[in-house]
Structure 1
Amino acid sequence: MTPTSPSLFTGYAAAWIIVFVWSGWLIVSRVAENSGLTIYDLAALRYGLAALVGVPLCYFYRDWQKLSLKQIAGLSFILGPIYILCVFAGFLFAPAAHGGIFMNGVLPLVGIVIGFALFGNRPSQRQTWGGVLIFVSALALGLDRSGAGTENAWVGDLLFMVGAVFFSFYVVLSERWQINAIQIIFCGTVVNAVIYLPIWALFLPSGLAEAPAGPLLLQAIYQGFVPNLMGLLFIAHASRRIGTVSTSSILAAVPGMGGLLGWMILGEALSGVSLVALGMLTVGLLIAVRSRRPKPWV
């Protein structure tokens, strides 16, 4: 297959689309507070609207039936409301750039720690060095309050880290159990919609009825369909066409792109220290993800 083949072109295009999709999600989630919607509404949109597509898919493609009850419960919990509510709450305190840094950016590091602690998977030398760079840069970014935008940004950073731990468990277990797209949609969307939506409708505060139509439509489309369903399909295509190593390497651009979009769209400036640390983080990501063939982050 030549470097100019259509398959390679569409693979690289799909991977870069995901970079913009995830970076855009950081911005959309950051401005959700101004839409009148609560974080509980955002979670309801995420699970409820995605389930409209997920239920027919899971009805016709029944790979989810191959999962054990323990696997369904584990994956559904990891991708469930605690995870996503921590992430949405993080955007109430911290800039969009910090979401990319303390979620996407530290995923390889947290995944290495979880893999070693639970399964004895020893990181390679390159993974270790990449993890050290990620840790140092994340620590510098967390301690640098000059460009954080709010004195309570550290609260958001901690919430993002909780989200990263949840998602890292998903990455480790999905690779270990060889989870496919339908199984992810079933556990991450359908099961959580069935559990969460009644609780949200009956007990949780909501601003859905008063939300302006424009912001509501933006959040509905982006939270409900773009990252979960569109992201899943594009990552699967990129992984098939250019491989998981190349896909994961391109996705290392998400934290930097999130910071750039946060500055351009929201006016969230990063200090000089943060910019240097962000560069170190990107280098650490590239080293860590290219040292083995990881399952792509979805």
Structure 2
Amino acid sequence: MSPQKQGYLYVLITMCIWGGFTLTARLSANWGIGAWDITALRFLLAFCILMPILIYKKDTAFLWKKEPFILAMIGGVGYCLTAYSAFHYAPAAHAAIFLNGFIPLCTAIAAFALFKQAFDRHTWASLVIMIGAISVMSFLMYRETGVAFGLGDLLFVMSAIWWGVFSVLLRQWQLSAWHAMAGVAVWSAIVFVPIYLLFLPKHLSEPEPMHLLAQVLYHGIFVVIVATLTYVEAIKRLGAFKAGSIVTLAPFMAAILAVPLLNEPLSFAIICGLFGMAIGALQPWRWLRRR
């Protein structure tokens, strides 16, 4: 397979897992699993799997470099805490709009802020479309409910900023997929798990044991390990903006599936927001022009 086709294959795998992340994270909130709990448990499980492998392979030297630690604090601890917390205040459709819809834009802004990579005309077009979609959706939501934005929406936007910076740094530093994934998981566990055990509230007795086990296995193995590996490989082959743009399609699909699966409402305002943000993120005119 050509590198480009490999990139699209890795994007497809990442899409499936990220779509499941949106649904399972919302289920986690519905089941009473706290954001602190799922963040600590997912990284603890990944640490228990990966650290013995690193030690066996005698491949731990890279952990002492600054890059894995910085990536872990941004794309690991920072992103997870804000994203999981947001699902306690907003439905899956809002995650598709304010989190995944904003990721390509935040990636482009991060690339400009950190490495002076200028916006091209396609990014400017996306910016105009996204602002228009958010404005229309906010106006309609305010007419329907009297509230345009909520705390969950703000947390989702913060998560998109974390992930945009994370994606740009991944591309710039050129870490291998294995080192990037293992570094994020190991350092996130080393830093956050002790803080969680000593200082943060715990709600492990509230959810059903099977619910808690299913969430930890899915987020600790598939989201932390598998999806990080495939996402890093996709970025290497397609670039941060293109990979991030395509991957955002999965949570939009998950938002639609959340209506019958989780009994979540899908108002006209949300539909407008989903449609506009999807167009801005995917930039379909670029694909049509190439064809």
- Hey, what's the Cα distance between the residues in 1 that align with 2:139 and 2:254? 19
- Hey, what's the Cα distance between the residues in 1 that align with 2:64 and 2:199? 31
Q: Which residue of 1 aligns with 2:84?
A: 88
* Aligned 8 A contact 1:44 1:193 in 2: yes
**Residue 283, structure 1, aligned to residue 276, structure 2:** no
**Residue 155, structure 1, aligned to residue 145, structure 2:** no
Q: Which residue of 1 aligns with 2:219?
A: 223
What is the deviation of 1:211?
3.0
- Hey, what's the Cα distance between the residues in 2 that align with 1:203 and 1:52? 22
Q: Which residue of 1 aligns with 2:105?
A: 109
What is the deviation of 1:152?
8.9
- Hey, what's the Cα distance between the residues in 1 that align with 2:144 and 2:164? 25
* Aligned 8 A contact 1:45 1:220 in 2: yes
**Counterpart residue identity of residue 267, structure 2:** S
- Hey, what's the Cα distance between the residues in 2 that align with 1:189 and 1:147? 43
What is the deviation of 1:277?
3.0
* Aligned 8 A contact 2:93 2:270 in 1: no
Distance 1:275 1:29, change over 3 A: same
- Hey, what's the Cα distance between the residues in 2 that align with 1:261 and 1:149? 23
**Residue 181, structure 1, aligned to residue 177, structure 2:** yes
Which stretch has the larger CA shift, 184-193 or 149-158?
149-158
- Hey, what's the Cα distance between the residues in 1 that align with 2:234 and 2:114? 29
**Residue 34, structure 1, aligned to residue 27, structure 2:** no
* Aligned 8 A contact 1:130 1:288 in 2: no
Which stretch has the larger CA shift, 208-217 or 82-91?
208-217
Deviations 1:5-38 (A, max 9, x none): xx95x87565334323212211111121333322
**Counterpart residue identity of residue 286, structure 1:** L
- Hey, what's the Cα distance between the residues in 1 that align with 2:286 and 2:56? 36
- Hey, what's the Cα distance between the residues in 2 that align with 1:275 and 1:246? 24
**Structure 1: any 5+ residue segments left out of the alignment?**
292-298
Deviations 1:174-219 (A, max 9, x none): 1111122233223311011112112212222212244312211221
* Aligned 8 A contact 1:49 1:224 in 2: yes
Q: Which residue of 1 aligns with 2:120?
A: 124
Which stretch has the larger CA shift, 280-289 or 260-269?
280-289
Distance 1:188 1:266, change over 3 A: same
**Residue 207, structure 1, aligned to residue 199, structure 2:** no
- Hey, what's the Cα distance between the residues in 1 that align with 2:238 and 2:113? 27
Task: State the number of aligned residues.
Answer: 285
Q: Which residue of 2 aligns with 1:251?
A: 247
Secondary structure of 2:89's match? Answer: coil
What is the deviation of 1:84?
1.4
- Hey, what's the Cα distance between the residues in 2 that align with 1:44 and 1:31? 17
**Residue 16, structure 1, aligned to residue 1, structure 2:** no
* Aligned 8 A contact 1:83 1:166 in 2: yes
**Counterpart residue identity of residue 75, structure 1:** L
- Hey, what's the Cα distance between the residues in 1 that align with 2:143 and 2:257? 15
**Residue 140, structure 1, aligned to residue 132, structure 2:** no
What is the deviation of 1:91?
0.6
- Hey, what's the Cα distance between the residues in 2 that align with 1:162 and 1:188? 19
Which stretch has the larger CA shift, 130-139 or 199-208?
130-139
**Counterpart residue identity of residue 163, structure 2:** F
* Aligned 8 A contact 1:90 1:160 in 2: yes
- Hey, what's the Cα distance between the residues in 2 that align with 1:28 and 1:217? 12
Secondary structure of 1:127's match? Answer: helix
Distance 1:210 1:286, change over 3 A: closer
Runs of 4+ in 1 over 6 A off after TM superposition: 146-150
- Hey, what's the Cα distance between the residues in 2 that align with 1:51 and 1:145? 42
Deviations 1:145-180 (A, max 9, x none): 379999696110000111111111111111111122
**Counterpart residue identity of residue 268, structure 1:** E
What is the deviation of 1:255?
3.6
* Aligned 8 A contact 2:96 2:274 in 1: no
* TM-score, normalisation: structure 2: 0.83
**Counterpart residue identity of residue 167, structure 1:** W
- Hey, what's the Cα distance between the residues in 1 that align with 2:175 and 2:286? 22
